[in-house]
Structures are given as structure tokens and as C-alpha cells.
Amino acid sequence: DQQVKQNSPSLSVQEGRISILNCDYTNSMFDYFLWYKKYPAEGPTFLISISSIKDKNEDGRFTVFLNKSAKHLSLHIVPSQPGDSAVYFCAAMGSGGSNYKLTFGKGTLLTVNP
Amino acid sequence: DAEITQSPRHKITETGRQVTLACHQTWNHNNMFWYRQDLGHGLRLIHYSYGVQDTNKGEVSDGYSVSRSNTEDLPLTLESAASSQTSVYFCASSPSGANVLTFGAGSRLTVL
């Protein structure tokens, strides 16, 4: 049973436009959400995160929105650049105790065309 | 600079052989994790550790084992490699209480 879902395997956008990557989760115990970016032959790198007590977090061109009632989050990249082309993973962490492991979605391949 | 290193980066082995993938971090992080990445599955947790002598099973732990004898290292052992274990393996670490994991560059394992 997949607890973190990224239903779009791929997304293609033009340089300068907005990229929107979506993620849904099913586990109500998740209270912290992260986005990782991964280039080929490299490890995933942390991009941005959001706590469940917030509905938005912004860092430069990257903004993450969280809708707790819908169990949905999205990553907005504005403006998109060719260097943003990578696989983006949504991840979630549960609350309580010493629970520091991440559950990942399957990833979305973003291609930004010049 | 502190870092997390995985070795080997690439390995080819035969079915039934024992394989060990190394993970070494110099941040003195208490938490360490092993994930595998497969097409169509994303990143799945194999084993994790929250400190020396502590190990826990993740969602895909069958056929794998880990041991944590010091803070810096969490080796992943495949007791008898199977073709289904052909994958890219990522080690990650984080400080106690942290939400963000830092990943290594990965080890690509092919089991023939």
C-alpha cells in the first residue's frame, strides 16, 4: 500500500514557465514533508520542506504548498530553468517518538526545455 | 568537509554470493539509513539505525542485514545475492531529532 503517491511519472515545461509537481499521501500520522531532487548518477539532494503546521513554505524559486485536509502537497518552481531538469521525489515523515525515517513517492521526472 | 561516502560505486556479482556495501559518514550522525531505488518504485527503505547497536527493518528488508558497531559506519550485507536485488542502493544519515536526511552518491549493484 503506497503511502506517498506521485501520480505523474513525468512533466515537461518550457524554460521560464511554472512547473507544478504534485504529491498525495494517505497516512494521517505524517507531519513533515520534504522534496528531494535527483540528478542521474547522483544521490538525492534536499530541496525544500514543510511542517504540517504550515500551509506554505518558500525558498527562492521554490514554493511548497500543503493542503492537510486533502492530504496533498505541491512543489512550484518559478521560473523553471533547464538546470531544474531532474527527478523530484516527495517524502514524508511521521510524528511521535524517535521516528526519523522518510517514506518516498515514486518520483516525477521534470524536463525543462530551453 | 564532512561527508557520506559509499563503496563500491559499481559492483557486479553472481547469484548466491555474499555482498557487502559500505557506508561511512563523518558528520557523527546518530541516524543512518539504507534505501534502494528501482524504476517504478522510487526509494524504498531497507534498514535503518538510530545509534550504535541499534538496527531496524524497513519495508523491503528480506535478504538484507546491517550492523552498527560504531557511529560512522552502517554496512549493508546481502547474504545470498538474488537477481531481484539488482538495484541502486543509497545510504543516508541525519542527526538525532532532524527531519532532513543527507544521501550518499549511491552504489549500483548488478546480480547476474
Cα–Cα separations (whole angstroms), residue B23 to A79, A83, B14, B34, B81: 37, 29, 22, 9, 18
C-alpha–C-alpha distance, residues A68 and A71, integer Å: 5
Q: Tell me the Cα Rg of chain A.
A: 14
Q: pLDDT per residue over A76-92, tens digit each?
A: 999 999 999 999 999 99
- Categorize the per-residue pLDDT at B95 as very low, low, confident or very high, splitting at 50, 70 and 90: very high
pLDDT average, residue stretch A82-109: 90
Q: pLDDT per residue over B34-88, tens digit each?
A: 999 998 899 999 999 999 999 999 999 999 999 999 999 999 999 999 999 999 9
pLDDT of residue B35: 98
Helices (H) and strands (E) in chain A, counts: 0, 11
Q: Mean pLDDT score of chain B, rounded to an integer?
A: 95
B25 pairs with which residues across the strands?
B4
On chain A, the residues whose CB falls within 8 A of the CB of B90 are 43-44
With b for 16 or more beta-carbon neighbours within 10 A and e for fewer, the A18-31 pattern comes to ebbbbbbbeeeebb
- Checking if the pLDDT of B98 tops 70, the result is yes
- Checking if the pLDDT of A9 tops 70, the result is yes
Cβ–Cβ gap A107/B97 under 8 Å: no
The nearest alpha carbon in chain A to B108 belongs to A41
Contact residues, B window 43-102, toward A, CB-based 8 Å cutoff: 43-45, 48, 50, 58, 90, 92, 94, 96-102
Q: A47 CB near a chain B CB, below 8 Å? A: no
pLDDT of residue A1: 73
- Checking if the pLDDT of A5 tops 80, the result is yes
C-alpha–C-alpha distance, residues B62 and B78, integer Å: 9
On chain B, the residues whose CB falls within 8 A of the CB of A101 are 33, 45, 48, 58
Q: A96 CB near a chain B CB, below 8 Å? A: no
- Checking if the pLDDT of A35 tops 90, the result is yes
pLDDT of residue B76: 98
The nearest alpha carbon in chain B to A107 belongs to B42
C-alpha–C-alpha distance, residues B48 and B53, integer Å: 11
pLDDT average, residue stretch A41-52: 96
pLDDT of residue B74: 98
